[in-house]
Amino acid sequence: GENVEQHPSTLSVQEGDSAVIKCTYSDSASNYFPWYKQELGKRPQLIIDIRSNVGEKKDQRIAVTLNKTAKHFSLHITETQPEDSAVYFCAASIGTNAGKSTFGDGTTLTVKP
């Protein structure tokens, strides 16, 4: 089955700096890669996603890149703010099985003011 590895497990940055979280996946059939943000005590919520026919997607301060050949994708957050502090999860799934996503173990991001 699919295996998703996520690094780093913890990341601490100064407010205003950039943060990068990387994930690799094993199943070349995976074609949907969402990123979820989970604040303390809350449910995971989608912040950005990318499909396998796209190499990069940006939404304000957040961007995701995908390298299908290398089977890795990354989340980039620029100009970090304290409210970006949360656990971030990457995931991979195959479009026809959208209900089954394989998640990375999560990255705890701390943004210091």
Partner 1 sequence: KAGVTQTPRYLIKTRGQQVTLSCSPISGHRSVSWYQQTPGQGLQFLFEYFSETQRNKGNFPGRFSGRQFSNSRSEMNVSTLELGDSALYLCASTDPGRMNTEAFFGQGTRLTVV
Min dist. Cβ of residue 58 to partner 1 (A): 17
With CA atoms as reference, report the closest residue to 90 among 56, 50, 55, 42. Answer: 50
Min dist. Cβ of residue 102 to partner 1 (A): 7
Is the distance from CB of 91 to CB of 34 less than 8 angstroms? yes
Q: In the complex with partner 1, which residue's Cβ is closer, 99 or 113?
A: 99
Query: Given the rule CB under 8 A, which of 11-19, 26-34, 61-69, 71-79 is the region that contacts partner 1?
Result: 26-34
Query: Of residues 2-21, which lie at the interface with partner 1 (CB under 8 A)?
Result: 6
What separation, in Å, do the N-terminal and C-terminal C-alpha atoms of the chain show? 41
Which H/E stretch holds residue 72? Answer: strand 72-77
Task: Please report where in the chains the tokens 């990255």 appear, as a residue.
Answer: 107
55 lies in the binding site for partner 1 (CB under 8 A):
no
Q: 3-state class of 83 per DSSP?
A: helix
Residues that bind partner 1 (CB under 8 A): 6, 31-32, 34, 36, 42-46, 49, 51, 89, 91, 93, 95-106
